[in-house]
Structure 1
Amino acid sequence: MGAPKQPLTPLAMAILELLHERPMHPYEMTQIMRYRRVDYRVKLRPGSLYHTVERLDGQALIEVVDTQRQGRRPERTVYGMTELGRDVFAAQAQAMIATPADEYPEFPVALSALSELTKDEGIAQLKMRVMNLKVKIAADEVIIKQVTGDELPPLYWIDYAYSNHQRKSELDFTQRLIADLESGRMPWPDEPEPRLSIVKDENNDKTG
């Protein structure tokens, strides 16, 4: 079986990334992803994870390597990565790193709609965004402090460093935007543009 025709989803990439470490059953994958805060960058729901595991198995990117049973708990299927899975993962990781994706985040769409609000409404919501960004940045930095305290190699948590940097850049942009709107440096559409005063010399207007 050849490589999948469609790119792997972020969740599929996260699953294959885990299986580089060792074979796991889906419940263990879910627990490790939550502990490592993978759900900060990937939509993680138990149903979708099991569905993705089944799809990866059907594509021969992973395979069943064991089954486990503890007491009266349901039997758990343990999956390992195939050579094809390693090759597909590596190829997509290379492409994702090298090529900027055409992504469609919400904030630019919201900014394009900003002028349809009143100035007071717009500034109020931007200030609310600033508060929310500060909360997320603080959460990022708690994780970064934890992993640096554990002396985890920086390359293992580079995704958190990137997200933290991205949020800080957005926070700086949003705060500057608020300052420009409040000062009038960026006029609201229903406000008059700043104009230079033109003083006429009455002598120049006299004739005769």
Structure 2
Amino acid sequence: MGAKLTPLAVAVLSLLHEKTMHPYEMAQLMRERFTDHHVKVKAGSLYHTVDRLAAAELIEVVGTQRDGKRPERTVYGITPAGRDAVLERARAMLSTPAEEYPEFVNGLSLIDELGAEEAIVELRRRELELATGVAADQVILAKLHEQQVAGVHQLHWRYSAARREFELEWTRQLIDDLKHGRISWHEDKPALTLLTEDGSGAQNG
């Protein structure tokens, strides 16, 4: 596998770096640790990724396992080349900020086109979704704690939860700034019309 490892390939190699296991166990652990919330994990794509890693000699078959009357399962282990590859990828991901192009950043550049009123309506929708996500994050973190998942396997969730909470607070502050005219606009933009409690308009600015 000469190309850069996919997120799912990194997840598989990371699990096999812990111990040998079969793909079904990999999928179980990803669900238990909620890895599947950050990496797209489908049965077909998981087995395809395992096959590609094996073909690239980053993992290898180390045996088989049978549980009761279930079909025999192939157990994989990581190879020295696979260990080197995942460690190299880990160093790069931790040390180098990735060039990402989130849609929200692009959306912020278009607020001037929408105008303050419409932007506030859309941002309030975002605020609601973020608040729901923050609550869901807390539930997941509590479950991870209850299941006594090692803290090192909770780091990705702790980071995601903190980032979502920051984005929620930032969005709320932006809404407040737009409502109270603390954001400067082009001179040809109309003043913001805020709706009062009775539904009538009040000019701001």
What residue in structure 1 maps to residue 73 of structure 2?
Answer: 76
Q: Distance in 1 between matches of 2:94 and 2:18?
A: 21
What residue in structure 2 maps to residue 127 of structure 1?
Answer: 124
Among 18, 21, 28, the alignment partner of 2:18 is: 21
RMSD: 2.1
Q: Distance in 2 between matches of 1:61 and 1:87?
A: 9
- Quick one: percent identity of the two aligned structures? 48
Per mean C-alpha deviation after superposition, the further-off stretch among 106-115 and 90-99 is 106-115
Deviations 1:132-171 (A, max 9, x none): 1111111111122233345544333111111111111111
Q: Distance in 2 between matches of 1:141 and 1:37?
A: 13
Give the gaps of 5 or more residues in structure 2: 193-205
Residues 65-144 of structure 1: pairs in structure 2 closer than 5 A: 65-70=62-67, 73-144=70-141
Secondary structure of the 1:20 match is: helix
What residue in structure 2 maps to residue 191 of structure 1?
Answer: 190
Q: Distance in 1 between matches of 2:74 and 2:149?
A: 30
| 2:86 alignment partner AA | F
Q: Distance in 1 between matches of 2:68 and 2:158?
A: 42
Q: Is the 8 A contact 2:59 2:79 kept in 1?
A: yes
Give TM-score scaled by structure 1 length. 0.82
Per mean C-alpha deviation after superposition, the further-off stretch among 138-147 and 166-175 is 138-147
Closer, same or farther: CA 41–144 of 1 in aligned 2, 3 Å: same
Q: Distance in 2 between matches of 1:35 and 1:149?
A: 11
1:174 is aligned to 2:167? no
What residue in structure 2 maps to residue 39 of structure 1?
Answer: 36
| 1:125 alignment partner AA | E
Deviations 1:42-99 (A, max 9, x none): 1112221111111111110101112334566444222111111111111111111111
Q: Distance in 2 between matches of 1:100 and 1:125?
A: 29
Give the gaps of 5 or more residues in structure 1: 194-208
Q: Is the 8 A contact 2:33 2:154 kept in 1?
A: no
Q: Is the 8 A contact 1:119 1:188 kept in 2?
A: no
Give TM-score scaled by structure 2 length. 0.83
Secondary structure of the 1:85 match is: helix
